Amino acid sequence: MLMDFSFFLTIFATATISFFIIFRKFRIHQENIDVGSSTSSPSSSTSPPTLPSALTSNWTHHVFPSFRGEDVRRNFLSHIQKEFQRKGITLFIDNAIKRGESIGPELTKAIRGSKIAIVLLSKNYASTKWCLDELVEIMKCKKEFGLTVFAIFYDVDPSHVMKLTGEFGAVFKKTCKGRTKENISRRRQAFKEVGTIAGYDSNNWESEAAMIEEIVTEISKRLISYTPSSDLDGLVGMGDHIQKMKQLLCLDSTNERRTVGISGPSGIGKSTIARVLHNQISDDFQLSVFMKIKPSYARPICSDDHDVKLQLEQQFLSQLFKQKDIKIHHLGTAQNFVMGKKVLIILDGVDQLVQLRVLPKAVCLGPGSQIIITTQDQKLLKAFQIKHIYNVDFPPDDEALQIFCMNAFGQDSPYGGFEDLATKVTLLASNLPLGLRVMGSYFRGMSKEEWRGELPRLRVHLDEEIGSTLKFSYDALNVEDKDLFLYIACFFNDEGINCTFEDTLRHKFSNVHQGLQVLVQKSLISEETFSPMHNLLVQLGREIVRNQSIYEPGKRQFLVDAREISEVLTHYTGSKSVIGINLNLSSIVDKLIISGSAFEEMPNLQFLRFSNDGFYSLKRLHLLQGLNYLPPKLRILHWHYYPMTCLPSNFNLKFLVKIILKESKLEKMWEGFQVRIYHSSMSFVLFHFYSLFIYMRLLCRNC
């Protein structure tokens, strides 16, 4: 007895040392994975001025123009109207209003309903009474309500306007003949006031186009500053994201050109961050573009990279100039348009390196230009040598609950009595902002009973909107990486990606480690060894496998649903397709009674996991007439509360890599003497590490 004990102790010690050597190598390898990020110096911003509330509540359009049509309508005014349209600025158009001796109530209402008034002073501006009365009303609104007024002196001397001298003064006197002194006095005062405004004098500009561009840019800035920002309304935590991005962009620097990447999984909020940032800072650039990249797999792939780049460059120019169907015939056209200008470029949803190559070279852009790229694939950012990367983290629990509540209740906390239900749904979404928003909208307006009825379904089936968004990342993988994703989602996210993982799947994948790297780079898994995949991505993977055979679960690759597993094992409906069973024993509602040959219809089963995270699970699984068969290709046997005293005598250990029989009734490995041949040293070491530990524990108990 002592000799046997010493013999097994020696083997046990050897196996233990081998185990820890392998484990240490695995840990060292994992620590070499680099997903670094960088930071930069902070920047600051100033608060915009606000407009008096008397006007803000009555705005009906952006700009009211006052002009003499015969002087400017076909030239200057038409050009500035076109530029306003390009910038999305609405201009009051008076074509439907009949002009008379004086302005009517429609024009008065239009002036008071404007955010900004432009007074386009030309040589004959003072030749009509309605122009004079428009000016009086505009200057009155400026004084009483704070209306912003832009004065443009078009081929006329500002001093002549202010003092009503020269040719401009002569026209004014002619128009005022027959008017009362009071009326003339009001008009004179209006011209005096508008003449003192630091406006735009066309005689000081070499180019009319440049003057118009400057005017429109300044008006655009004023409009933005007057409008209370709603970018952050309902977007919990967005202020912190924007602040960190502004620090990375280093906006205070007037000369530095910078490219910044935003990285993170689908649904984390990368696009939202980029969009809000674009809205806040784009006005500080001469040109800006927010270009949404269509997923490469959803677009016909051209055989030549040149064609792909040409399509992307056409899309870039179309969005830059807000013109549809721009056609170009050679590459580099976009770079010529933006060369030397201060430009903001945002590419959202990049998933191919060729999409980045369409960007104009940073050195060709003007000082202060910024490029922002959002992607799930960190490898792309590194390949493009982007040093400044903002990795978007999942929100903390309190923020996640607020995001959900804003969409479910329209406030940042649950209604009374809904606290527990709201917390459960938030946990179900695993703090993914997309999931929190979609689920919040889904539950909005439901009663407590309806909430309770929907929760079990959502634990099994993924919401369609969430699933379609998350599936973009999966669809972009190659066939082998898709398989690895499904293996993790259906089995190894619960089992863990530990030191045996690569050896367990070596037979199936050409390079398991490389596949894991791809999934990490595409933000589909983290580098955690236990539960590396987000809960919603796990649901996505299991939904994909479920769709392999919706009504006959025994024909799928993996079985994970307790009800379906019970059905397959009880009614012998398994098949050769099944390679994995992952059953949480505590999820069994009724007793699961199976026969000793329940696995005979699944000869290709490689991964069997009966785990437990509840109580009384031992009483829920029953074997009739013992267990006389386990599939010969098993690589992992993980069975809590294994109910037999030994394994089947015909059990083939040739492929076994890991065996865990926690809290089992096992007393010995098998009946009789068995001769085993091992083809894998890893399988031998790890199998004996577990089996000898059990054997020695029993042996010591019997001594």
18-52 pLDDT, tens per residue? 443 344 343 334 434 333 333 333 233 333 334 44
35 by DSSP, 3-state: which? Answer: coil
Estimate to the nearest angstrom the gap between the alpha carbon of 591 and the chain centroid: 43
Q: What is the value of pTM for the model shown?
A: 0.56
Q: Is 543 a catalytic residue?
A: no
Structure tokens given for 123: 């040589």
348-378 per-position pLDDT tens digit: 988 888 888 777 776 688 888 999 999 988 8
Catalytic entry in 31, 101, 106, 134:
134
Estimate to the nearest angstrom the gap between the alpha carbon of 24 and the chain centroid: 36
**What is the structure's pLDDT at 686?**
38
How long, in residues, is the chain?
Answer: 703
531 by DSSP, 3-state: which? Answer: coil
Torsion of CA 78, 83, 85, 88, to 10 degrees: -150
Residue type, 619: K
Q: Any alpha helices (H) in 57-94, and if so which ranges? A: 69-72, 76-86
Q: Which residue's entry shows tokens 């460059």?
A: 313
CATH architecture for the domain at 53-224: 3-Layer(aba) Sandwich (3.40)
**What is the structure's pLDDT at 95?**
60
Structure tokens given for 287: 């040109």
Distance CA 620, CA 591 (A): 4
Q: CB under 8 Å to 614, separation ≥6 — which residues?
A: 584, 585, 586, 587
Of 579, 520, 571, whose CA–CA distance to 548 is shortest? Answer: 579
Distance CA 373, CA 606 (A): 42
Q: What is the DSSP letter of 444?
A: T
Of 666, 473, 490, 653, whose CA–CA distance to 581 is shortest? Answer: 490
Phi, psi of 373 (to 5 degrees): -130, 125
98-152 per-position pLDDT tens digit: 554 455 677 888 888 888 999 999 999 999 888 898 899 999 998 888 889 999 9
CATH number of 230-391: 3.40.50.300
CB 571 within 8 Å of CB 596: no
Can you name the residues that pair with 584 across neighbouring β-strands? 611
Distance CA 93, CA 36 (A): 55
Give the Cα-Cα-Cα angle 391, 490, 430 (nearest 5 degrees): 40
Phi, psi of 450 (to 5 degrees): -70, -40
Q: Which residue's entry shows tokens 């890991």?
A: 658
**What is the structure's pLDDT at 430?**
82
CB 261 within 8 Å of CB 388: yes
Question: Which residues, given as ranges, of the chain have pLDDT below 50?
Answer: 1-57, 100-101, 297-303, 615-618, 675-703
Structure tokens given for 127: 């030749």
Distance CA 120, CA 546 (A): 68
Distance CA 602, CA 576 (A): 5
CB 431 within 8 Å of CB 395: yes
